[in-house]
Amino acid sequence: MEFLIMNGAGNRFAVFDARATPGFQLADAQVRAICEPGSPAMGALGADQLIVLRETPEADVFMEIRNRAGFAVGACGNATRCAAWLVMEERGTDAATVQTEADILHCTRAGHMRVAVDMGEPRLEWQQIPLKEAMHTHHVDVKLGPIDNPVLHNPGAVSMGNPHCVFFVDDFDTVKPHLAGPMIEFHPLFPEQVNVGFARVDADSDDGLGRIRLKVWERGVGMTLACGTGACAALVAAHRQKRTGRKAVVEVDGGELLIEWRDDTEGGLGHVIMTGPVELEGRGTV
């Protein structure tokens, strides 16, 4: 079966279109074999996620998301942009709806090979993330390092359809995200494991936008070049801790994402809008 190789700000995907073949299924071991770096299907870089597009009566397309470890994921912002772009190109439109296990997301063109996605409201209650026990999610009780002088502490917890905790750091050399990430991913506070963000809030841009430098350890994947839901979670967590405003450029290893947490939703938290690039790298066959 042919598939597309796509990426969003460096977040790389194997995209299978199963809309005409509803019986198409892949076992966890098959997903791992395709996504593994160095695999015949994806080459040296491998894939962070495997995407299966399916028919649905409720949106333009349903997007099934499997991470490199093989298990299902509720949301992926960068993959949503890719799926929406494919639908818009196919239909010659400037808007598309993408359904995931977490929600139906509304997407629009935002320029050449750029898509904006309404990621909906962030989920901020401890049960929604979820956490194992009740606590405020502005800062959650997770520390790494000596009790009296932890290297990491007081992350914000946010769900954008999947769980995130975001630590704010001064520099990445001291923290070493590739070592800290896997220790936090399986912390007992997070019963569904957690995506771990390491965010450095930089000075505002000349245009007044906030800037956040972000690295993400993604559950079931490892360090990634980009994480769309992680970028959204970083902006939300930063604003809740009064570190930045409601709109910022989030720089990840693979590029930049513009994130805005709107405050125009009457009686609600406000929707998070993510805008970023899409790239079609090529095609593969398995």
Catalytic residues: 76, 227
Rounded to whole angstroms, the Cα distance separating 64 from 83 reads 10
Helix residue spans in 103-244 (DSSP H): 172-175, 177-185, 228-240
**What is the sign of the dihedral through the CA atoms of 274, 187, 13 and 20?**
negative
Task: Kindly state the helix (H) or strand (E) to which residue 73 belongs, with its residue range.
Answer: strand 72-73
Residue 107, φ and ψ in degrees, nearest 5: -125, 150
Three-class DSSP category at 196: strand
- Helix then strand count (H, E) for the chain reads 5, 19
- DSSP states along 8-25: ETTEEEEEEE-TT-TT--
Q: Is 171 exposed, middle or buried (0-12, 13-18, 19+ CB in 10 A)?
A: exposed
